[in-house]
Amino acid sequence: NTTALPGHVPVIRAAFDAGLHVLVEKPFAPSLEAAEQLVDGAAVRNLILMVSQNYRFFPAPRAIADLVREEELGKLHQVSIDFRRFSTAGPNGRGRHHLEEQPLLVDMSIHHFDLLRLILGREPDRIFCEAWNPSWTSFTGPSVAVATIDFDGVVVSYRASWVSAGPITPWAGEWSMEFEHGEVVWTSAADSDVTQDRVEIRPRNGTPRTVALPPLQRTGTSGTLTEFARAIRTKSEPETSGRDNLGTIALMAAAVESATLREPVTIYPTGKTTGAAAAI
């Protein structure tokens, strides 16, 4: 399902009624409540609902997730992410996302939010987000955002822009991660070019080294499609199932809510009532 966001829910429901498994673009629903209803709908029909979070299927984030889990540099306590692009796509410098209500937090940042959940292996507790649109841009909605996110004690500083004058970053952004015994800097998803995935470990008392990343059989969209086919073949839940992606939807919606209210928002576990459910 690659329709625009307003078409996701009705098209998914129609597919379920036809007995079809569904692979859908992110975000797969406009609210947490609608997302939960779709997940329940797939479950009662014994169908697979998978979200295309293709940034997961690159070498660098997979290697970083392993490094965090194995505590190679000790405990992680801080993450900084920078995403910079200058978007003038489309006729007269305007593309589809230039007309969206939330072109950054909903259309783009959701990729980074999902990577955070994969890499940290935990769910966020709280977010404070500011989002705005410079007066000279061609965007309708906020094209720049900064946020502080608390992931159960790991603090994330997030900065993203569709209208940056700085050097562009790969699509996954530029990451710096501070551990007990050193720092890791990395980037990924440079226009689907896996050769641009880079990870450098900088030990506190040692020599920096570049990590040799293990090759993946399928990457990006190809990796997503391979995972979808595997899930159907084995009748198992895919990595980026609708159920797992509820956590990503909750963080995205909370970011929008925080930016709208201009105050911190507590991110409730999925299944519980939260103002973030209707934030988009």
The pair of three-digit structure tokens given for residue 77, joined into one six-digit string: 């306590």
At 280 the pLDDT is: 42
Question: What Rg, from alpha-carbon coordinates, does the chain have?
Answer: 19
Tens of pLDDT along 233-248? Answer: 999 999 999 999 999 9
At 278 the pLDDT is: 39
Tens of pLDDT along 64-98? Answer: 999 999 999 999 999 999 999 998 766 666 777 88
Residue 203 forms beta bridges with which residues? 182
At 89 the pLDDT is: 64
At 91 the pLDDT is: 61
Cβ neighbourhood burial of 177 (10 Å; 0-12, 13-18, 19+): buried
Whether the pTM exceeds 0.85: the reply is: yes
What the chain holds in terms of domains, given with CATH numbers, is 55-210 (3.30.360.10)
Distance between CA atoms of 48 and 51, rounded to whole angstroms? 10
Q: Taking residues 245-256, what's their average pLDDT?
A: 96
* pLDDT mean across residues, the chain: 92
Q: Are strands 76-84 and 198-203 parallel, antiparallel or unpaired?
A: unpaired
